[in-house]
Structure 1
Amino acid sequence: MNYDVAIIGGSYAGLAAALPLGRARRRVVVIDAGQRRNRFADHSHGFLTQDGTPASEIAEIGKQQLLQYKTVDWMEGSVKRVERKDDNFHLCIDEKHAINAKKIIVATGVKDQLLDIKGIEQRWGKSIFHCPYCHGYELNQGNIGLIASSEHAAHMAMMLPEWGRVTFFLNGQKIEAEIQTQLIQRGVIIEQRIIKEIVGESTIILENEDSIPLDGIFVTTQCLISQDWITNLGCEIEQNAMGEMIKTNALKETSVAGIFACGDVARLGGSISLAVGDGTMAGVAAHRSLIF
């Protein structure tokens, strides 16, 4: 099959990227492996007109609306290889299917690398979160924990008192005296002891068996690009304390001609609103690149 644009990733950014292309009657395929980054969360917050809607419902409505456009195809599967041949990209999907596209948009999202603390993984997205704008309000100004995992954690610790009473668990991480003073002035409790595990809904057990019950816990993750084919494309990758992402310009163009990227794979810090905005820009820019 030959397409104008292949969009790799069918979550919010990928859906948003496909919409302007479909409305321009371009031949588009969305390739989706069904692994939305926020699949662990029951509800989405902060997305205008959809505040509190189940995250899966937003994605499904978007998909159904998108597929009303006759030039848009949907393909379930995982991209295994992407190769450039002449002026087209050749994509291999699950070692079974092959398609060609003039342009590609990478909207795969990222993998969250969680701290190695017993109890985090099964509570991720339920009572342990990464974004206070997405989940802080529902904690009702209660007792909030933050576990240090990178230099970005101190920045979040300064913000979190907007949403409740904060205990900052350093868990072996170091903190500058000046920053510690600023946090204390913000009312943040600094906990130096090591975390043993997390139990119940969100109770932290320390190494000496003391327990600290909380209404919710925040932790920053390392965001990783886990697909080798993305690295093999040669797109410039940026790295910082929060992880790695594909570098793009304001039009969501990567450093490789014909390749665009949007959503969490091209912006550290997950948000449906930002993913949709970035996806729309990528879709419009990809369409224009087919003309000019």
Structure 2
Amino acid sequence: METAKKYDVIIVGGSYAGLAVGLALGRALRKVLIIDSGKPCNRQTPHSHNFLTQDGTAPAQIASIAREQVLNYNTVNILHDRVVNTKKEGREFRVFTQSGESFAARKLVFATGIADIMPDIPSFAESWGKSVLHCPYCHGYEVRGQKTGILANGDSGYEFCMLIANWTSDLTLYTNSKSTLTQEQTAQLHKHKINIVEDEILKLDQTNGYLNSIQFKTGRAEPVTALYARLPFQQHCDIPLQLGCELTSDGYIKVDAAQKTSVSGVYACGDNVTRMRTVANAVSMGTTTGLMVNKELVEEEF
């Protein structure tokens, strides 16, 4: 096997968390390779919010500025490729990419995010991140006071209604099947004038990703401006699992306060470890990870 080019740290995933790791390590004089396939989960989202100095900026623009700043540090390289396999070789990790290249590093960081599993509802995926939303803190202000729906049922639907009611009084819960709410939950939602619709959804009517109405299998339709949904997900990259990294009961990569996984030398940060899916949180976690990785390298070297 040919000799692989060596780095102190290889970061798999070069969106906000991965770039923040790279920035912290670059400033710590570490030789770093960031490998990214260029498919962030928010690539359809037109604007990012709740990130100081960047509120309302397009996510792609934030990432572009971040890459430019990270590359100011000559010890950091960014490779547009996809990691397909890794192996532990002694005290190093060997990383193999789709293009056939391989690299080695003492530490690995996975900032690979998650992949949302879309329901089988026509036009849902096209509207995801634009008018079909996952987070009111990211998007609620922009659709405040407007006719809003929630696609959920049972305890999750009830809790989501409580949260979204802070942003609008024109709210409907769409269970897309028979309601599994308790009698008490149903009464409480009705008390707050939140409608419950059990009709099955046929499709979403949208224009360029922005909702006009929900069409039901009964032939009826209801106008709606925004629809919130919490989707099931899977890890965007299964390589951490192949290395032996543990997952939480919710399906996130299990990490400690220093962002260390259950596998020595392997770290993870960003959407793949937490349900708090914001750009600001990803950057914060990435910075912390960079500091902790460098600390471990210093302790090993000193």
**1:182-213 alpha-carbon deviations (Å, 9 max, x no partner):** 32233321111111111133210112111111
Shift of 1:151: 4.8
Alignment partners' CA distance in 2, 1:228 and 1:105: 13
Alignment partners' CA distance in 2, 1:228 and 1:95: 18
Shift of 1:122: 1.1
Paired residues of 1:109 and 1:264 also in contact (CA < 8 A): yes
Give unpaired runs (5+ residues) of structure 2.
Answer: none
Aligned to 2:119: 115
Paired residues of 2:153 and 2:181 also in contact (CA < 8 A): no
Aligned to 2:281: 274
**1:101-146 alpha-carbon deviations (Å, 9 max, x no partner):** 0001100011010111112011111211111111111113111011
* 1:70–1:149 distance in 2 versus 1, CA, 3 Å: farther
Choose the corresponding residue for 2:186, options 180, 183, 201: 180
Alignment partners' CA distance in 2, 1:61 and 1:150: 42
Give unpaired runs (5+ residues) of structure 1.
Answer: none
Which portions of structure 1, spanning 4 or more consecutive aligned residues, are displaced by more than 4 angstroms? Answer: none
Alignment partners' CA distance in 1, 2:254 and 2:291: 18
Alignment partners' CA distance in 2, 1:290 and 1:144: 50
For residues 97-108 of structure 1, what are the structure 2 equivalents within 5 Å?
97-108=101-112
Structure 1 position 27 matched with structure 2 position 11: no
Shift of 1:11: 0.4
Shift of 1:286: 0.6
Alignment partners' CA distance in 1, 2:145 and 2:113: 31
Choose the corresponding residue for 1:82, options 82, 86, 94: 86
Aligned to 1:284: 291
Alignment partners' CA distance in 1, 2:48 and 2:154: 25
Aligned to 2:256: 249
Paired residues of 1:167 and 1:190 also in contact (CA < 8 A): yes
Structure 1 position 133 matched with structure 2 position 133: no
Paired residues of 2:255 and 2:262 also in contact (CA < 8 A): yes
**1:50-75 alpha-carbon deviations (Å, 9 max, x no partner):** 11001100000000000000100111
Aligned to 2:21: 17
For residues 140-151 of structure 1, what are the structure 2 equivalents within 5 Å?
140-148=144-152, 151=155
Alignment partners' CA distance in 2, 1:8 and 1:249: 19
Aligned to 1:169: 174
Paired residues of 2:154 and 2:182 also in contact (CA < 8 A): no
Alignment partners' CA distance in 2, 1:231 and 1:273: 26
**1:28-57 alpha-carbon deviations (Å, 9 max, x no partner):** 111001011110101111111111001100
Alignment partners' CA distance in 1, 2:59 and 2:80: 19
Alignment partners' CA distance in 2, 1:68 and 1:163: 41
Residue identity in the other structure for 1:270 = R
* 1:150–1:228 distance in 2 versus 1, CA, 3 Å: farther
Identity among equivalent positions (%) equals 35
**1:130-188 alpha-carbon deviations (Å, 9 max, x no partner):** 11111111113111011116853332111111111210001115222222223223332
Residue identity in the other structure for 1:98 = S
Alignment partners' CA distance in 1, 2:76 and 2:184: 55
TM-score normalised over the length of structure 2: 0.92
Alignment partners' CA distance in 1, 2:104 and 2:154: 41
TM-score normalised over the length of structure 1: 0.95
Shift of 1:95: 4.8
Alignment partners' CA distance in 2, 1:44 and 1:187: 31
Paired residues of 2:113 and 2:236 also in contact (CA < 8 A): no
Structure 1 position 258 matched with structure 2 position 265: yes
Report the count of equivalent residues: 289
Paired residues of 2:108 and 2:266 also in contact (CA < 8 A): yes
Choose the corresponding residue for 1:222, options 232, 238, 241: 232
Alignment partners' CA distance in 2, 1:270 and 1:228: 19
Alignment partners' CA distance in 1, 2:130 and 2:222: 18
Aligned to 1:234: 244
**1:210-231 alpha-carbon deviations (Å, 9 max, x no partner):** 1111111111111211433221
Choose the corresponding residue for 2:158, options 144, 148, 154: 154
